Amino acid sequence: MKTLYICGAGNSETVRLAQRINRVRRRWERIVLLDDDPRKHGQTILGVTIAGPMSLLQGRDPQATEIANSVTRTTARRWSVRRKMEAYDLPFATLVDGGVDLDGAELPRDLIVFQNATIGPQVSIGEASAVFMSAVVGHESQLGRCCVVAANAVLNARVQLADGVYIGSNASLLPEVRVGAWATVAAGSMVMHNVPAGATLMGVPGKIVYRLSQAELARRAAEAESLTLRHAAESRVA
């Protein structure tokens, strides 16, 4: 029986999701939280102890261990934690609530999907992405790596998100909209047109209020290229 290490203690929803999954079919003997903030060590969330920093992953047996990245506040932070986790060469867990229909979707192993989310047919999602409660990823939509779709957001049909896109809660994206890499769509926004890479869009209708510099976008793209994603190939779950 395996141990699941959840990295990042800021989002108790991930702990609850893992416990929900384990109640239906016992996958892990132990669930452990890790966080690099020493002030959190020793605290418990839903009965799960924050055992220490991520370096505790060093030397774990890949046959007896799975890891999950719980950091979702920003995709930049999620990405950097993902890269740290990669270094330990341990398998990522697929944390998908049992009630979510995945038929006809192409999904990576390192994926988090919370309860009541809808993943449409012919959807494809990249490594390290997370889809929150009651969000809708409409049919034939494509999500890049390390995207976060927050609670109740709706991606209508054939929406395309590049790597590192953050979609805030209750945002709505019209069919066929394309969102460029590392863009942020603020909570409650209505997205009617394509969003350029690195933009932050807010409001109804959505307007661009901020843009990352070209240098920062180039840096992130180079970093993404270097990501090994070595678990991707063998890890399709549907």
Ligand X SMILES: CC(C)(COP(=O)(O)OP(=O)(O)OC[C@H]1O[C@@H](n2cnc3c(N)ncnc32)[C@H](O)[C@@H]1OP(=O)(O)O)[C@@H](O)C(=O)NCCC(=O)NCCS
* Residues at the contact surface with ligand X, assessed by CB under 6 A: 132, 150-151, 168-169, 184, 186-188, 200, 202-203
Of residues 7 and 150, the one with the C-beta less far from ligand X? 150
Please give the helix or strand (H or E) that residue 68 lies within, else none.
Answer: strand 65-69
Locate 126 and state its tokens. 């990249």
- By beta-carbon proximity to ligand X, the closer residue of 7 and 135 is 135
What's the closest the beta carbon of residue 131 comes to ligand X, in angstroms?
10
Residue placing its CB nearer to ligand X in the complex, 76 or 174: 76
Taking the complex as a whole, the smallest distance from the CB of residue 26 to ligand X amounts, in Å, to 28
Name the residue with tokens 């890479």: 197
Residue 200 Cβ vs ligand X, minimum distance, rounded to whole Å: 6
Q: Which is nearer to ligand X, 76 or 202 (CB)?
A: 202
What does the alpha-carbon distance between residue 111 and residue 72 come to, in Å, rounded to a whole number?
A: 12
8 A C-beta contact, residue 68 and residue 6: yes
Q: How far is the CB of 145 from ligand X (least distance, A)?
A: 19
- The strand pair at 136-137 and 154-155 is best described as parallel
Other CB atoms closer than 10 Å to residue 223's CB: what's the count? Answer: 13
Task: Report the alpha-carbon distance of residue 1 to residue 216 in Å, rounded.
Answer: 43
Q: How far is the CB of 146 from ligand X (least distance, A)?
A: 15
Single-letter amino acid, residue 5: Y
DSSP 39: G
Report d(CA 29, CA 191) in Å as an integer.
Answer: 43
Residue with smaller CB distance to ligand X, 53 or 188: 188
